[in-house]
Amino acid sequence: MLLVLLRAAALGAEVKSTSKRVTLSREIESILRSSEAKRGHWGIEVVRLSDGKILYTRNAEQLYLPASNMKLFTTAAALERLGPDFRFRTTVEAEAPPDAAGRVENLFLVGRGDPTLGYQVIPNPVQLHGEGPPDADLQEFARQLTEHGVRVIAGNLIVDETYFIDEPFGRGWEESNLQFGYASPVTALAFNDNALLMRSTPGESVGAWAQVDLQPFPDYYTLINRILTSAKGTRKQIHIGRKPGSRRLEVWGQIAFGAEPDEDSIAVDDPPRWAAELFRKALEVRGVTLKGSIEVRGITRAEASAPNFVPPNPSRVVLGKHLSAPLADDIRTINKFSHNLHVEMLLRTLGKELKGRGSSNAGIEVLEEFVKDIGIEDNEAIFSDGSGLSRHSIIAPRAIIKLLRYMAKSPRSPVYVDSLPVAGEDGTLQDRFERTSARGKIHAKTGTIEHVNALSGYMDLPSGERLAFSILGNEHPMRAHEGKQVVDRLAVTIYEQFGGRQKIKRRKRTVVTQPSPVGRG
């Protein structure tokens, strides 16, 4: 009799589970058919972490553009291979200590992949880095030099970029993106996110020129402003143009009278030289004279591909140094705010530290070995960059689920999960899921590029059960915000199907002002 009851209970549970899957499948089909999402290609998978049971799957073995869901792989590999306590090191060096007169021949500013020098322009130039001067890190280098007695640089101020191979942009990045901060050049010495914040404010009357400012260094570009103040309620249209290698930035279009200022991030044209120019000014303030000029030394891809290439390892004296915060802090910045520059620098750092070559190809080799080690099959994930800005990276939702399952069991799981945006509360999910039962219960990475929307991560159910899920939508004709709305409806439907519908409590919201848009999440 007991055996019969147990079998009946098991059968009942199985029927109930099957019923849930059928209901969920119908609701997902309804959501996708009710909008222009029906024209797209959608891959979805949901897994219960406690036993690995697949609760729902749709086209999960097919390949999709992941957009910024790509960052899930790069940051996971970095946590596992470098460790959460890894720190970036930037130094100022000379061939020999200063002589009795305080002279050194050449001075070297050596970048080793630290993405955190200067202000953080993304998401906000003050929010992450405090209220101090934006060149505080360079001022500190100048202070350390004078403590070592340096008074004169007889030769040149040289930026040593040899930690990375010179490839400032990812394979497959679109040229139209390159003038914006979310596609800033990738350099071994980065400063201020290799970007400036552009703020456009309506004029005092309709027809007046808008006020356009670049922060926190307003003089980097020669700014040609042709943005007019349009009638109240008209649509904002702001365009930006700059030729490669030019310091002339043209902006034009319109912004409505009385509208809130528009903010966007603008890529710096030559970040290492810019950092050196600012460093020279900091040295002058400290009374250190540069007799020569500024020089940038790097390694080209052609040089690095030579059969007899040996990475340079000069013997020099360290006169100043800066250590970054632990890598775990930057992983949080990358995933919370979908930071392309930081993760691309991290990809190259993986290549340098583990393969001896600071290139994207070497970093991708590390990623490929990592995903193979965790059970992702060949051709389930094909990588072209570290950020997902490339349209050459393609990944199956099932591969993302395998990654999420692995990281859920990793000793680094708390750091990894904490780095993900929380629904309705922070990061790129701060303004999403606010009035849903899933608020605060979803920890997930967003992804948005043209005709692509993605969301993958974890769901915490009221029962205490945790699910891993991945939603990838490609080739749909919707605008970015429309695609996000569809993804959010899918995610809430999945959450409520397995977690139950909860009564929504209104919460007071603390507003954190962020530039928008500053990147593609």
Give pLDDT, residue 20. Answer: 65
pLDDT in tens, 433-446: 999 999 999 999 99
CB neighbours of residue 144 within 10 Å: 18
Active-site residue set: 68, 71, 338
Is residue 137 helix, strand or coil? helix
Give pLDDT, residue 256. Answer: 97
Residue type, 331: I
Give pLDDT, residue 308. Answer: 86
Alpha-carbon dihedral of residues 206, 125, 178, 517, nearest 10 degrees? -50
Residue type, 122: I
Joined together, the tokens standing for residue 279 give: 């460093």
Ranges under pLDDT 50 in the chain: 13, 15, 125-128, 508-519
Contact 346, 78 (CB under 8 A): yes
What domains does the chain contain, in order, with CATH numbers? 18-82+327-499 (3.40.710.10), 89-323 (3.50.80.20)
Rounded Cα–Cα distance for residues 108 and 94 (Å): 6
Contact 158, 108 (CB under 8 A): yes
pLDDT in tens, 405-423: 999 999 999 999 999 999 9
Give pLDDT, residue 75. Answer: 98
Nearest to 229 by CA among 271, 259, 250: 259
Nearest to 399 by CA among 419, 370, 420: 370
